[in-house]
Structure 1
Amino acid sequence: MIERYHIYCHIPFCKKRCPYCYFTAKFSEEEMINLDAMDEYVKAMKADIEKADFPDAVVTSIVCGGGTPSLLNERQLDTIIDAIRSKLPPDRFNGMEFMAYEVSPDTASEATLITFRNKGFNRVSIGAQSFVDEELKLLGRPYTREMIVKAAELVRKVNYDMLNIDLLIGIPGQTHDSVIQSIKDTVTIKPEHISVSLFYSSYPGGKEFVQKCEKRGKLIPYLSDKIQIYEDVCRILMDNGYVRVDNTVFSLPDYVFPYEKDAISETEPVLAFGPGSAGYWDNNRVRFTPPYINKYIEAPASVEEEITVDNYAFTIVWGHLNAYGKIEENVLEEKLGFNFEEVMRLEKDVNILLSVLIQENLVFRQDSAYILRPETLNRAIVLMHYIRDGWGYKLITAPEQTLNLN
């Protein structure tokens, strides 16, 4: 029985597709940059929300992700929020602790920030990725360091409760010094949350992007260098008063945002809407929407799929290790019906993941759980990312023609 859950609304539109982006790679570029279709898209999402079954449980948060949710105008935003409001008892909607969305620095106008704040949004995430102008240009980002700083200043002016800044480590051409500079610039702003993600290359177009960068002399840092960079980043954040929430998010004390940890574990209830979105649902099922924007506009519908060893074992193990620092055997037994040994025998990718962590002495077995060693946690996080990147682009929301199931 679901006791609490999050609501996630995916806004897949962007002004352009950035060549590094793991998440927008699932969409047709022609569809995702067609901003003229946003009105019809919002109408489809409204219909999708209105026909969905909302459980009788506490709603922890509403999150609008993307893509670029800040491209929504006030009328479109009202349509989505009012549809959600109509499905919830007033006390459930008004009692929500968090409403969050993502903004790109080039769309973070004061008017946009005020519009979202007036609708109840209290957390905003700025997708900076880097504070180094040369790196931003390589990533195809349409803004500069100065624009990131200005966006953060506007967030403070509009009085949001929480600001998150997204940073990316391991992109082509990045160096130890350039990463540390971005971290120091971020810490100077003092956001409540800092998300430090590691660059994935295993997405459609990722290999080509990396090769183009290499031809320009911009190389991905070696694994050993990436580990050292990540170690130093974590040290700087903790020296400045941040605490680790999970493998990605660092927070100032007392600024909790549970959606981040729940989403990365991929086994906490999320009622997700919009193509390319997904959420764990109903104990042993996952609810998702294929990433076809035009088809969704024509007939909005989600898909429910039973969780099995073949399609979800790696996701569960990897997600729990990253979100909670451990994977408990009873989780596998509850979700999949098998213990560690059986799952490792049945699913080679789980076998590879756990075998490497055991061999490298990065986990220990205790009370029917594999637990990441605190003293080598940062190294384990980078190594787990490396293994997942080699695992391939196996998002359940990826287009059928891009899924790598070998």
Structure 2
Amino acid sequence: MTQNTSAQPLIHGGAQTPRAALPHLPPLALYIHIPWCVRKCPYCDFNSHTASKVLPEEEYVDALLADLDQDLHAAYGRELSSIFFGGGTPSLFSATALGRLLRGVQARIPFAADIEITLEANPGTFEQEKFVAYRKLGINRLSIGIQSFQQEKLEALGRIHNGEEAVRAADMARQAGFDNFNLDLMHGLPNQSLDDALGDLRQAIALKPTHLSWYQLTLEPNTVFWNQPPALPEDDTLWDIQEAGQALLAEHGYAQYEVSAYAQPDRAARHNLNYWSFGDFIGIGAGAHGKLSHPDGRIVRTWKTRAPKDYLNPAKSFQAGAKELTNEELPFEFLMNALRLTEGVDARLYAERTGLELASLDEGRRDAEQSGLMQVEPSRLAATDRGQLFLNDLLQKFLS
């Protein structure tokens, strides 16, 4: 595939004091976006598009590898610590297509010996033979979009599977050789009661996933639900669900390590931990975002052409834009990720990943500590329980 390689001009912030060169570069991950779904869900604000009967697999894999070629300069000899296939529904792609893609990626950037490779999948797309083939490719983690096991709730969410298919998907994942998989589950669904929410959670726990992403449905702009809001539970019910659900997860050995992520021991998602600790990631595919550090101290966010037809158009650039983060933006950018972690991060990581002195956080940190939103712990940057609940308020303390 021939693609216009003229990159969009880098969008710079205002004049700023140069940062120190980074002592060493962060771990590097790769996000691969596959934008097609069987059907667009009414709550979804991701860059996803209803698939045609025949997907342009070969053309899209060619484009992904050409896109990666243009970002190889930012790898700086590093190896990939993780790969995440997100969507859309990546499990719509054949094992043949994903195999060619993974071989192409590995030929360009070496894989860490213990690389984590995650594929998002939906129960309505599960085929045993296909998932056995995925596992043989080296994909070693699945993230299965269940959302609910209850038919009424699944229909309200526009999902294409039923509760039995959701249970069967987890069983099929294990039979295919996946001993590490996540279940995505929502709460705060239309007309959901406390008993409904806990019933879903108990069913998910019974399937023995290594990881659970359990998060509240929110109404996002540019979605059907935003324009036609369903009847959601009252705030008191939402609070009861949150408290009871967290207690149930802890009782069954799922430790909360991020706002909406719970894992069995040593099963936290390494790809997402890299995001939250301000690691680097290359993003390829329609609408994919990346964050890349350079040895001279520059940190640049990138985003790719969003519409699949434009991404596949040889006359258009893969990269839609890029922005170098300024000294004023970095505190917020770093903490927006790090403070999602329930344990926070070692305070030394701030200077290591941003090139700025830890003292640049002092004013906002004092304010956050005095407001009870941030822990008074010099060696760590961590939110209090209250800070986790009011994370947006906490982050406002660090806006310039």
If the length of structure 1 is used for normalisation, what is the TM-score? 0.79
What is the Cα deviation at residue 282 of structure 1?
0.9
- Amino acid in structure 2 at the alignment position of 1:295: D
Corresponding residue to 2:270 among 243, 253, 258: 258
Give the counterpart letter for 2:350 in structure 1: V
How far apart in 1 are the matches of 2:200 and 2:285? 33
> Which residue, 31, 39, 44 being the options, matches 2:63?
44
Determine whether 1:367 maps to 2:367.
no
User: Residue by residue, what CA displacement relative to the aligned partner does 1:87-117 show, whole Å, maximum 9, x if unpaired?
Assistant: 13xxx43724311101000001102211211
Please tell me the residue identity of whatever aligns with 1:219: L
CA contact (8 A) 2:188 2:232 kept: no
Correspondence for 1:394? none
Report the CA distance shift for 1:18/1:313 in structure 2 as closer, same or farther (over 3 A).
Answer: farther
Equivalent pairs, count: 361
Aligned residue number for residue 27 of structure 2? 4
Deviations 1:351-385 (A, max 9, x none): 9xx76x854x3433332765323xxx2x5434337
Contact 1:245 1:261 in 2 (8 A): no
Establish whether residue 301 from structure 1 lines up as the match of residue 318 from structure 2.
yes
Deviation by residue 1:189-245 (Cα, 9 ceiling, x = unmatched): 11111111232323312xx5156344xxx22441x4323321211111110112223
Matched residue SS, 1:135: helix
Q: CA deviation at 1:8?
A: 1.5
Unaligned runs of 5+ in 2: 1-23
Q: 1:108 aligns with which of 117, 121, 126?
A: 126
Relative to structure 1, the CA distance from residue 306 to residue 201 in structure 2 (aligned partners, 3 Å threshold; closer, same or farther) is same
Out of 39, 43, 67, the residue aligned to residue 88 of structure 2 is 67
Given candidates 222, 239, 259, the residue that maps to 2:251 is 239
Question: Residue in 1 aligned with 2:176?
Answer: 158
The whole-number CA distance in structure 2 between the counterparts of 1:17 and 1:55 is: 38
Aligned-residue CA RMSD (Å): 3.1
In structure 2, the partner of 1:76 is 97
The higher relative CO (CA closer than 8 Å, separation ≥ 6) is in 2
Is residue 235 of structure 2 the alignment partner of residue 219 of structure 1? no
Q: CA deviation at 1:159?
A: 1.4
Distance 1:132 1:312 in 2: 43
> Structure 1 residues 44, 58: closer, same or farther in 2, change over 3 A?
closer
1:14 Cα deviation (Å)? Answer: 0.7
Q: Kindly tell me: are residues 84 and 326 of structure 1, through their superposed partners in 2, closer, same or farther at Cα, counting changes over 3 Å?
A: same
User: Who is 1:187 aligned against?
Assistant: 205
Secondary structure (helix, strand or coil) at the match of 1:195 reads strand
2:307 aligned residue: 292
The answer for the alignment partner of 1:58 in structure 2 is: 79
**How far off is 1:314 after superposition?**
4.0
Matched, 1:23 2:46: yes
Deviation at 1:325, TM superposition (A): 4.1
CA positional deviation for 1:34: 7.5
Which whole-Å deviations, capped at 9, do the CAs of 1:9-36 have from their partners, x for residues lacking one?
1111111111111323xx5x46x66753
Query: For residues 360 and 335 of structure 2, what CA distance do their matches in structure 1 show?
Result: 12
Alignment match of 1:268 (pick from 274, 279, 283): 279
C-alpha distance in 2, partners of 1:202/1:162? 30
Query: Which runs of 5 or more structure 1 residues have no equivalent in the other structure?
Result: 345-350, 392-406
State percent identity of aligned pairs: 24
Structure 2 equivalent of residue 177 of structure 1: 195
Tell me the alpha carbon deviations over residues 259-303 of structure 1, each in whole angstroms, 9 at most, x when there is no partner: 1222245x2111221122223211522232142222211245234
Map of 1:403 onto structure 2 = none
Q: Please tell me the residue identity of whatever aligns with 1:277.
A: A
- In structure 2, the CA distance between the partners of 1:292 and 1:79, relative to structure 1 (3 Å rule), is same
SS in structure 2 of the partner of residue 63 of structure 1: strand
- Residue type at the aligned position of 2:167: V
Query: For 1:183, what is the secondary structure of its paired residue?
Result: helix
Per-residue CA distance 1:114-171 (angstroms, 9 max, x = gap):
1211101111111011122111111100111110000111111111120110111223
Q: Please tell me the residue identity of whatever aligns with 2:303.
A: F
1:52 counterpart SS class: helix
3-state SS in 2 of match to 1:36: coil
**How many Å separate the matches in 2 of 1:358 and 1:70?**
47
CA distance in 2 between counterparts of 1:387 and 1:113 reads: 42
